[in-house]
């Protein structure tokens, strides 16, 4: 038996293994990271692909003891990685998965291509994915999804990384002397949106995912459109007006980091994330594009809120029209039905509008604004239930 030290998904891990045990078995059987799939177990199908010192590797034929001191990133470690998030969205949009068994390994290889290919060359993508076999899709959707992500990132000015960050030659996993560097490059670029995090993420690194759900909302504020639009440009005030929101890092230009706390009876979720804001002064419109994740429930969300200010009452008041687009994945998504989300959003919008008006007329206490509000979703659900029961009773009486 040999003692093995690894950095797995950014966390130091120790295990005692037999020399014959492969890395995939350690991850699946000892660490419960079953997102790494086993297929052929001969290094042919690519289902077991993961990142070893930042580079794709076949974990089913890699001896665990040969990885002592290395940095390992499994598919679970890419939950908040911006490239993986864009790939997941593109795979869903382009129908690039069916049974899903090959998908974790495919995402790992595709992420490497997105990092290092200078442009979306179909032949290069096909060659790069040739080590990942799929028995369902025919590969057309997969190649199309990878091309779309590469094109979108290059159009946003995100350049390819030569060699995908590899700085030395040698077999994958042979660079364990530089574990710290490899671990940081393999770790999700949007890992923990905390105040004490190091380098800031560029706003263009916040993925503009294709939303799964959408709805519209609106509210009225007794202030001129220019005043309301200016309020929407003050990120600190905007967060203070939103129920349950709190800024965790000082806003920089058009970028904000923070969290939204939600209480659902005994359950509590804290969605931490980042967002960028785009504004058009001429049309008094803009949008917020963001992503967040609740670490405890492993529920992720992404989307955007677009707004525009319309003058009413001869310009003395403003009608704010909102277009809300979002995606939610994880355990909490199972209880977030469309109608329920719309009703909750309506209640939140009402509270947000009231807080905005209080800020504009000077009645919002600064100390109160600085204190994050705790959103009690259970109370809101009860309110929604009462409203629906009342409406149903009125319809029955009308009949």
Q: What is the tens place of the pLDDT at every residue in 122-144? A: 988 999 999 999 999 999 999 99
Structural domain span for residue 248: 203-398
**Within this chain, do residues 226 and 322 fall inside the same structural domain, yes or no?**
yes
Residue 192 lies in a domain: no
**Within this chain, do residues 269 and 227 fall inside the same structural domain, yes or no?**
yes
**Within this chain, do residues 224 and 340 fall inside the same structural domain, yes or no?**
yes
Domain count for the chain: 2
Q: What is the tens place of the pLDDT at every residue in 255-285? A: 778 888 776 555 567 888 888 888 899 999 9
At which residue do the structure tokens 């590797």 appear? Answer: 57
**Within this chain, do residues 96 and 50 fall inside the same structural domain, yes or no?**
yes
**Within this chain, do residues 211 and 95 fall inside the same structural domain, yes or no?**
no
- Which of 365 and 298 is assigned the larger pLDDT? 298
Statement: residue 168 has pLDDT above 60: no
Distances (CA, A) of 130 to 36, 50, 84, 142, 172: 18, 16, 19, 12, 18
Cα dihedral across residues 50, 56, 62, 64: positive or negative: negative
pLDDT at 266: 53
Distances (CA, A) of 343 to 79, 349, 355, 393: 29, 10, 19, 18
3-state helix vs strand vs coil in the chain, percent to 5: 40, 25, 35
pLDDT at 191: 33
**Within this chain, do residues 274 and 343 fall inside the same structural domain, yes or no?**
yes
* Rounded Cα gap, residues 349 and 343, in angstroms: 10
pLDDT at 343: 65
* Mean pLDDT in residue range 69-75: 92
Share above pLDDT 90 across residues of the chain, in percent, rounded to a whole number: 36
Determine contact, residues 119/64, Cβ cutoff 8 Å.
Answer: no
- Which of 206 and 185 is assigned the larger pLDDT? 206
pLDDT at 243: 77
C-alpha 364: how far from chain center:
32
**Within this chain, do residues 275 and 137 fall inside the same structural domain, yes or no?**
no
The residue out of 155, 186, 217 marking a domain boundary is 186
What is the three-class DSSP state of 368?
helix
- What ranges in the chain are assigned the alpha helix state H? 23-25, 82-93, 103-116, 122-128, 140-155, 179-186, 225-233, 235-241, 338-360, 366-370, 377-398
Statement: residue 293 has pLDDT above 50: yes
- 61: which residues sit within 8 A by CB, 6+ positions away? 22, 41, 42, 43
Q: Nearest 5 degrees, angle CA 303-CA 306-CA 307?
A: 155
pLDDT at 365: 63
Residue 195 lies in a domain: no
Share above pLDDT 70 across residues of the chain, in percent, rounded to a whole number: 74
Dihedral angle computed from the Cα positions of residues 299, 304, 305 and 307, in that order, rounded to the nearest 10 degrees: 180
274: domain CATH number is: 3.30.530.20
Determine contact, residues 173/84, Cβ cutoff 8 Å.
Answer: no
Residue 191 lies in a domain: no
Mean residue pLDDT across the chain: 79
Residue 198 lies in a domain: no
- Which of 179 and 321 is assigned the larger pLDDT? 321
Statement: residue 184 has pLDDT above 50: no
Task: Determine if the pTM surpasses 0.85.
Answer: no
Residue 283 lies in a domain: yes
pLDDT at 35: 94
**Within this chain, do residues 285 and 173 fall inside the same structural domain, yes or no?**
no
* Mean pLDDT in residue range 275-302: 84
Of 203-207, 249-253, 297-301, 347-351, where does mean pLDDT reach its minimum?
203-207
**Within this chain, do residues 179 and 207 fall inside the same structural domain, yes or no?**
no
Angle, helices 140-155 vs 103-116, to 10°: value is 40
Statement: residue 116 has pLDDT above 80: yes
* Rounded Cα gap, residues 96 and 106, in angstroms: 10
Statement: residue 359 has pLDDT above 70: yes
Determine contact, residues 73/25, Cβ cutoff 8 Å.
Answer: no
């Amino acid at each position: 038996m040999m003692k093995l030290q690894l950095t797995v998904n950014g966390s130091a891990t120790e295990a005692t293994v037999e020399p014959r045990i492969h890395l995939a078995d350690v991850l699946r059987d000892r660490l419960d990271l079953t997102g790494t799939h086993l297929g052929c177990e001969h290094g042919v199908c690519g289902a077991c692909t993961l990142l070893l010192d930042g580079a794709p590797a076949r974990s089913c034929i890699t001896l665990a003891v040969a990885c002592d001191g290395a940095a390992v990133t499994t598919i679970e470690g890419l939950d908040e990685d911006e490239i993986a998030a864009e790939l997941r969205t593109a795979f869903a949009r382009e129908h690039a998965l069916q049974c899903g068994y090959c998908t974790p390994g495919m995402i790992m290889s595709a992420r490497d291509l997105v990092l290092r290919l200078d442009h979306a060359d179909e032949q290069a993508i096909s060659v790069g994915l040739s080590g990942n076999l799929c028995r369902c899709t025919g590969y057309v959707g997969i190649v199309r999804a990878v091309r779309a992500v590469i094109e979108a990132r290059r159009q946003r000015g995100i350049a390819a990384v030569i060699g995908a960050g590899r700085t030395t030659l040698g077999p994958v996993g042979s660079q364990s002397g530089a574990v710290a560097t490899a671990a940081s490059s393999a770790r999700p670029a949007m890992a923990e949106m905390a105040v004490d995090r190091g380098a800031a993420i560029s706003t263009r690194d916040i993925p503009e995912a294709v939303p799964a759900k959408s709805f519209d909302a609106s509210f009225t504020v007794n202030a001129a459109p220019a005043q309301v639009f200016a309020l929407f440009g003050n990120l600190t005030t905007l967060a203070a007006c939103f129920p349950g929101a709190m800024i965790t890092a000082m806003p920089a230009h058009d970028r904000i980091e923070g969290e939204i706390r939600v209480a659902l009876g005994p359950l509590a979720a804290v969605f931490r994330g980042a967002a960028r804001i785009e504004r058009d002064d001429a049309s008094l419109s803009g949008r917020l594009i963001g992503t967040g994740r609740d670490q405890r429930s492993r529920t992720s969300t992404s989307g955007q809120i677009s707004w525009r200010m319309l003058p009413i009452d001869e310009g003395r008041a403003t009608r704010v029209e909102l277009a809300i687009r979002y995606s939610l994945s994880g355990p909490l998504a199972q209880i977030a039905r469309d109608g329920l989300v719309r009703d909750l959003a309506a209640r939140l919008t009402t509270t947000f509008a009231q807080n905005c008006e209080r800020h504009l007329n000077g009645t919002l206490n600064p100390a109160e604004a600085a204190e994050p509000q705790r959103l009690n979703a259970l109370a809101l659900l009860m309110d929604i239930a009462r409203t629906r029961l009342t409406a149903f009773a009125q319809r029955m009486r009308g009949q």
